[in-house]
Structure 1
Amino acid sequence: MFEIIRQGGWLMIPIVASSILSIAIIAERYWALRQNAVQPKETLPQVWGWIKNNQLDGNKLKQLKQSSAFGQILSSGLTASKHGREAMKDAIIESGTHVSHELERFLSLLGTIVMVTPLLGLLGTVIGMIDVFGELMIGGAGNPAPLAGGIQQALITTAAGLTVAIPAMIFHRALQRKVDNLLISMEQASTKLVDAIHTEKDD
Structure 2
Amino acid sequence: MAPLGICSLVAVTIIVERLIFFRRTGFRQPADEVLALVRQGRHEEALAKADGNQLPVVKVLQAGLSHRRNPGKAMEAAGLAEISGMKRGLTALETIITLSPLLGLLGTIIGMIGSFQIMTLAGSSQPHAVTGGVAEALIATASGITVAVVTLIPYNYFLRRVEQETETIEQYATRLELAFNEPLPERAR
What is the TM-score normalised by the length of structure 2? 0.86
Q: 1:65, 1:73 within 8 Å by CA — same for their partners in 2?
A: no
Measure the CA separation in 1 of the matches of 2:25 and 2:82: 10
Query: Which residue does 1:158 correspond to in 2?
Result: 141
Q: Which residue matches 1:5?
A: none
**Does structure 1 retain, via aligned residues, the 8 Å contact 2:63–2:75?**
yes
Q: Find the counterpart in structure 2 of residue 66 from structure 1.
A: 52
CA offset at residue 95 of structure 1?
0.9
Question: Unpaired segments of 5 or more residues in structure 2?
Answer: 185-189
Question: 1:197 maps to what in 2?
Answer: 180
Unmatched 5+ stretches in structure 1: 1-11
The equivalent position to 2:22 in structure 1, one of 33, 47, 50, is 33
Number of corresponding residues: 183
CA contact (8 A) 1:80 1:88 kept: yes
Q: Which residue of the partner structure matches residue 96 of structure 2?
A: 113
Q: What whole-Å deviation, never above 9, does each CA across 1:139-182 have from its counterpart, x for those lacking one?
A: 22111232123201221000010011012112111111111111
| Matching of residue 48 in structure 1 with residue 35 in structure 2 | yes
Q: CA RMSD in A?
A: 2.2
Q: How does 1:1-203 map onto structure 2 within 5 Å?
A: 12-34=1-23, 37-38=24-25, 40-51=27-38, 52=40, 54=42, 56=44, 61=47, 64-67=50-53, 68-81=55-68, 83=69, 87-200=70-183
- TM-score calculated relative to the size of structure 1: 0.81
SS of residue paired to 2:182: helix
Name the CA shift for 1:120/1:104 in 2 (closer, same or farther; >3 Å): same
The share of aligned pairs that are identical, in percent, is 30
SS class of match (1:173): helix
The 2-side partners of 1:146 and 1:183 are apart by: 56
Aligned residue identity for 1:148: T
